[in-house]
Structure 1
Amino acid sequence: MNPIITKADHNTIKSLIANLPDHLKTAEIRQLTNELNRAQVVADDKIPKDVIQLNSYFEIEEINSKQQINFTVTLPNKANIAEKRVSILSPLGIALIGFRKGMTVQWTLPGGPKKLKILKVEQAIEEAKIQTL
């Protein structure tokens, strides 16, 4: 089960990692690099709409506790937990990027190993489109 990532997201995330200071290149960042290296990179217009990408809204359920949460995956400078925006560099962002609605992802988060089922994925309307409405 390899992640699927658009060429634009792949380039953006790789650049973000490359520009991080060394002291911020944690084990999680190495995991994200590994995910990017094994990802299927596709043209931006070829990615299925139910795949979590940068700026995707998602709803997930932790299988064991049945707890449901929802966030939007963003770049670090736009992350804000109070506004339900989680950074791509966070453990949750790393765990879910490139995976589809209906999939279950096993990942170690700060609270320990978790099984996360992706219940819903919605893509953000591009800002350029919003401005023309």
Structure 2
Amino acid sequence: MIPVLKNSDYQIIKTLIENYHPSQRTKEMGTLQTELRRAKIVDDPLINHNIIQLNSYFEVKDIRSGNRLCFTLTLPSEANLKEKKVSILSPLGVALIGFQEGKEFEWELPAGVRKFVIEKVEQPIQEKA
């Protein structure tokens, strides 16, 4: 699967990674950079509403156990697990950015690789000027 990113998210994420000193970059950042290079970038108005973007709320289900995870994908400065906000630089954030509702993906957990399905994606309500 090729991730689909809106141009503004692509620019934000690219700049975020570039602002880290190479000695501070994590394995996830390297994986995210690889995903950015292979992603399809679209103009913001053309992004499908059911694709996980920055600030998207999503629900994923572990196919084997049936357990659900519900989070909002955020920048690292806004991440807070108590508030169910997960960073784009987390393994889960890297695994999900750019993928749409209904898609299956694998995620490596300490207990091993697990298969998940993206069950729901919601975008934040945009305030009108």
Could you say whether these structures have the same fold, taking a TM-score greater than 0.5 normalized by the shorter chain as the test? Answer: yes
Q: Deviations over 1:57-100 (max 9, x none)?
A: 00000112211010000000000000000000000000000000
1:38-117 equivalent positions in 2, closer than 5 A: 38-117=38-117
Code of the residue aligned with 1:33 in structure 2: it is Q
Deviation at 1:24, TM superposition (A): 2.5
TM-score by structure 1 length? 0.92
Match of 2:29 in 1: 29
1 CA distance for matches of 2:77 and 2:25? 17
Deviation at 1:111, TM superposition (A): 4.0
Relative distance call for 1:93 and 1:104 in structure 2 (3 A) is: same
What CA RMSD, in Å, does the superposition of the two structures yield over aligned residues?
1.3
Aligned-pair identity in percent equals 48
2 CA distance for matches of 1:43 and 1:76? 24
Number of corresponding residues: 129
Question: Aligned pair 1:6/2:6, yes or no?
Answer: yes
Aligned to 1:118, what secondary structure does the other structure show? strand
2 CA distance for matches of 1:120 and 1:100? 9
Q: Note the residue ranges of structure 2 that are not aligned, 5 or more in a row.
A: none
Q: Note the residue ranges of structure 1 that are not aligned, 5 or more in a row.
A: none
Code of the residue aligned with 2:84 in structure 1: it is K
Aligned to 1:15, what secondary structure does the other structure show? helix
1 CA distance for matches of 2:111 and 2:25? 21
Match of 1:123 in 2: 123
1 CA distance for matches of 2:111 and 2:85? 19
